Structure 1
Amino acid sequence: MNNRTPLFCDTGLAARIERAETQLITSWNEIARDRLGDSPGFAIAVAGGVASFAEPDSPINKVAGLGFAGVPAAADLEKIEYAYAERGAPVQAEVAGLADPALLELLAERGYRLTSFENVLGRALGGAVEPVVAPGIEVRPCGDDEFEAWLQVVVEATLHPDTQGVPWAEEFPRAILENAERDTVGLMSRYLATVDGVPAGGGSMRIADGIAQLTGAATAPAFRRRGIQSALLAARLAEATAAGCDVAVITVQPGSRSQQNAQRRGFDLLYSRAVLTRTA
């Protein structure tokens, strides 16, 4: 790993990653609205991205993927802002640092306020993935019969985040997190980590356009600092490589334990996303 060439991210790769993110949020939103039936949710395509509202307090209530297919018209933004306002929700736009700079200027003019950042890390795939061997730890694909165990350990870990680095700006109720994770069945692959047979952590992954999106990983507080995150990363990277992916990406909070673990496993900082909000 010491002699490897860091992965460089140009606007082309960033656009590809943001397209995959847009597709993920759009599909996830559709599943959530199907579950809710006659719901007030929406997914509005806008300038190559999507404005998503699934249900109150959902983690996929956001505008994603803007800035790589032109700047949205003011009328389109007004339509989106009105849709969120009707539901009593703020607009949250996640804007990649490699997006068209004119987008940030437009959002600032419309009263959007910078509230936080998140980092997108990436690793080139194609070669052998270094295995992770830790005493007592096993990572395996999560079968349907293990889903409830996976769900509980992931949600519990999410509700008790690691405190290193900048914390996530948002907190979500347990029931909403459980809804969101159940909605990903069939959309993502899931991996369960056990320690001496006890569920201790879990992760997920989605593959699209040669990109392996590592869509989440969490370790129960009692099992942290034992190598579970590294084991989950290695297992998913091996699966992504076998599937023919050329790059893996993960979104983390700046300075977090997740970022530290990912960089130890060969990930590089590709770009940051600015999170901007506009109140209803």
Structure 2
Amino acid sequence: MWVEESLSQQLRRIEQINTKVAAQFSDVIAVGPFQAQIDPSCDMTWLNYAVPVAELGKKAEVAEVVVELREVFTERDRTLRFEFTESLWPTLPEVLEEAGLRLEVRHPMMLCKLATFQPHQASAVQVKQLTAADDTKTLAAFLAVRNQGFNQDFADEPPTDTEIAELREQIQTGKTCCALASLDGIPAGVGVTMPMSGICELVGVATIPALRRRGVAATLCSFLVKDHFQRGGDLVWLSAGDAIAQATYERLGFHLVDSRLNYIDQLRMKVGS
């Protein structure tokens, strides 16, 4: 007899799949009940972090492992960070805070199923799913919009050949599904899903500042969510960046289920300051 999956089971499945997906882009190092995921070529804090992957054990034991993890990250010139779902690891925040880490951000964690999905299409927005066969101009446009949308320091610099080649490889291998939205023919927004085993995270949603509040993000996200369900997926999840983003996702059928916590090492930050 089929039994519907509980929310707790869904959250555990999401976290397990998310860890496997992130490992495709990182050097993975097992340290006690944690997995360190280190980007070998980029020291951006949000690309380098540790996740809990097994039962934590006693508080003192976890504290010792955190010291080991700090050494792992320091040896690789990275700042120790943790990302995890709050309800699944309720004892972890206290241990991390006592070890010198602080809560960096608490993101609303949202979930969408096919039964709750509400498609959206702004009339002036067109969305294209990228393929490995797309020309360099198209892939470069995706990267340029992403950089401008997230207001990167290098946003005014054109994407490099290496960045374009890496994007093409990720699309070709199926690690990511990328979409580029245009507003009246002008590249305006980007978004990404990273599918595995019926689950995908919706990430990297960005719109060029001058073209916001015109339905670009909602149409783009709707396109990616619909694509995932049409491919047989059953869950889409995300971490909302702010209240405006959360409201947009709610209109698409996402609902709040938990919080994603990010903890960052204060000791490393003080040394580097």
Q: 2:203 aligns with which of 207, 215, 229?
A: 215
Find the aligned partners of 1:180 and 1:273 in 2 and give their Cα distance. Answer: 29
Aligned to 1:23: 20
Q: 2:114 aligns with which of 97, 106, 125?
A: 125
Give the alignment of 1:87-166 within 5 angstroms: 87-125=76-114, 130-143=118-131, 144-145=134-135, 146-159=138-151
Stretch deviating more after TM superposition (209-218 or 98-107):
98-107
Stretch deviating more after TM superposition (215-224 or 83-92):
83-92
Identify if the C-alpha distance between structure 1 residues 46 and 244 changes in structure 2 by more than 3 Å, giving closer, same or farther.
Answer: farther
Question: Considering only aligned residues, what root-mean-square deviation do their CA atoms show, in Å?
Answer: 2.7
Is the 8 Å Cα contact of residues 114 and 235 (structure 2) preserved in structure 1? yes
What is the identity percentage for the equivalent residue pairs of Structure 1 and Structure 2?
24
Q: 1:198 aligns with which of 160, 164, 186?
A: 186
Is the 8 Å Cα contact of residues 194 and 202 (structure 2) preserved in structure 1? yes
Counterpart check, 1:14 vs 2:14: no
Count of equivalent residues: 245
Counterpart check, 1:262 vs 2:249: yes
Find the aligned partners of 1:150 and 1:182 in 2 and give their Cα distance. Answer: 13
SS in structure 2 at match of 1:63: strand
Aligned to 2:28: 43
Instruction: Could you tell me which runs of 5 or more consecutive residues in structure 2 were left unpaired when the two chains were aligned.
Output: 269-273
Which TM-score applies when normalising by structure 1?
0.77
Find the aligned partners of 2:264 and 2:144 in 1 and give their Cα distance. Answer: 30
SS in structure 2 at match of 1:159: coil
Instruction: Could you tell me which runs of 5 or more consecutive residues in structure 1 were left unpaired when the two chains were aligned.
Output: 1-7, 30-41, 161-171
Which TM-score applies when normalising by structure 2?
0.79
Q: 1:236 aligns with which of 213, 224, 228?
A: 224
Is the 8 Å Cα contact of residues 125 and 183 (structure 2) preserved in structure 1? yes
Find the aligned partners of 2:91 and 2:201 in 1 and give their Cα distance. Answer: 27
Moved over 6 A (4+): 177-182
Find the aligned partners of 2:263 and 2:45 in 1 and give their Cα distance. Answer: 17
